[in-house]
Structure 1
Amino acid sequence: MRKDAVRNRERILDAARALFSERGVTGVTMSEIARAAGVGKGTLYRRFPNKGLLCEALLDEPTRVFQRRTMKLVSESGIGALEKLDRFLEEMVLFTEENLELLYGGQEPLCGSDRVERFSHPAYDWQRWTVLVLLREAEREGAIRRGLDLEYLAHALLAPLAVDLYHYQRHVLGFSSERIARGLRDLASEKL
């Protein structure tokens, strides 16, 4: 990548981060981001055709940190799979809470079939796979009953963390992130 392209990308991300922090993702236009970054709209749109891709770029580092924490958790010895699953779901709530503006606002341009594409995104697939591995481990440990549809349950346990529902629960219903995490723990432990 050319030096000026790298510089422009960083300027765009810095401007977007500042504007999003100040006014929220949905309250900022792409034109405002280009102006604040000191780049032309063409430069902005070539790099980031929509705010969703800008949000995805801004989520890159927090996602990597979250994944490293998860890998450490999953590889810990002396902890049962259900406890690891509880802790992973709690970490998911924390990640969602800390990054809700980017997660929620980044989906603003999505509509129709594009909204369901998130379920084939590598980030979601990694989350689903982590839950599935922990469920399979819990089954091997005898911590959950045999014969459950673990693939379905992996999706079902992640469903309450869908960003639209999480945003609604936090900002319309007024649920705390602790209440959401507690509910997820109940789902993961009570009925399996």
Structure 2
Amino acid sequence: MEQRSERRDAAEHRKLILRTANHLFVKHGVESVSMHQIAKTAGIGQGTLYRRYSSKMDLCMELLNDEFKRFTEELNSYLEAAATLPVQERLTTLMSRWFDYAAEKLEWFHVFKSTASCSADEVKYYKVPPCLYLKEVLERLLQEAVDSGEIQPLDVEFTAFSIITGINPEAFIHLVQDRNYSIDQIKTHFISLYRRTIFAT
């Protein structure tokens, strides 16, 4: 019974920490919020916070993973409902929604980048759940387009990989901050490029 109570307390602490962190991130910006501020606002000791999350990057990753599960459920619902539409249309909608999601979370990527640059435990872009999910969906849609004759035969895995590489968060940040592209410009150029390349007849 005591062990079950400890597990319940740990689950409640997790919810409290994530709810508090998300509120502070929205209000003040991800980079401006410290772990100390999160612990103080949540009313817990810093030791309790650090036992669960060794860094703000770990905390951000868990928050993003939770949100990403909801986002993928929406995408999966769309793909299921739009299963009879041409692959080109589904791919365009998929990428458009993906860019909107990335733009909404752009500040979070700064935390990963700055933390990873001075940490041996670097976040591996191609192995995080969002990247793996997108790769799987892109490969499935591209293979469907090849099989149906909507596009010419191509290396599905390599093409999906090249698309994912093009939307690497670091490149996204560079285009927005250093090259002064707007989110809409990036989205328009990127989708147009791959539509012309993949669906050229």
TM-score w.r.t. length of structure 2: 0.84
Is 1:143 aligned to 2:150, yes or no? yes
Identify the residue that residue 54 of structure 2 maps to in structure 1. 49
Is 1:9 aligned to 2:21, yes or no? no
RMSD: 2.1
Give 2:127's match in structure 1, choosing from 111, 120, 123: 120
CA distance in 1, matches of 2:55, 2:46: 11
Question: Could you list the per-position Cα deviations for residues 130-150 of structure 1 after superposition, in whole angstroms to 9, with x for gaps in the alignment?
Answer: 11111111111222211x222
Deviates more, 1:50-59 or 1:68-77: 68-77
Name the amino acid aligned to 2:143: R
Unpaired runs of at least 5, structure 1: none
* Structure 1 residues 59 and 157: CA distance shift in structure 2, 3 A: same
- 8 Å CA contact 2:139–2:157 kept in 1: the answer is yes
Give 1:71's match in structure 2, choosing from 71, 76, 79: 76
3-state DSSP of counterpart to 2:114: coil
* Structure 1 residues 179 and 129: CA distance shift in structure 2, 3 A: same
Residue 45 of structure 1 and its aligned partner are, at CA, apart by: 1.0
Is 1:108 aligned to 2:114, yes or no? yes
CA distance in 2, matches of 1:187, 1:179: 12
Identify the residue that residue 59 of structure 1 maps to in structure 2. 64
Residue 108 of structure 1 and its aligned partner are, at CA, apart by: 3.2
CA distance in 2, matches of 1:73, 1:6: 32
Residue 90 of structure 1 and its aligned partner are, at CA, apart by: 0.7
- 8 Å CA contact 2:146–2:152 kept in 1: the answer is yes
Higher relative contact order (CA 8 A, sep 6+): 1
Residue 54 of structure 1 and its aligned partner are, at CA, apart by: 1.0
- 8 Å CA contact 2:125–2:168 kept in 1: the answer is no
CA distance in 1, matches of 2:152, 2:121: 36
* Structure 1 residues 142 and 113: CA distance shift in structure 2, 3 A: farther
Is 1:166 aligned to 2:172, yes or no? yes
- 8 Å CA contact 1:24–1:105 kept in 2: the answer is no
CA distance in 2, matches of 1:4, 1:65: 25
Question: Could you list the per-position Cα deviations for residues 92-147 of structure 1 after superposition, in whole angstroms to 9, with x for gaps in the alignment?
Answer: 1011112222233244321376446221123211111111111111111222211x
Identify the residue that residue 34 of structure 1 maps to in structure 2. 39
- 8 Å CA contact 1:118–1:124 kept in 2: the answer is yes
3-state DSSP of counterpart to 2:116: coil
Alignment length (residue pairs) = 191
Name the amino acid aligned to 1:185: I
Identify the residue that residue 92 of structure 2 maps to in structure 1. 86
Name the amino acid aligned to 1:73: Y
Name the amino acid aligned to 2:127: S
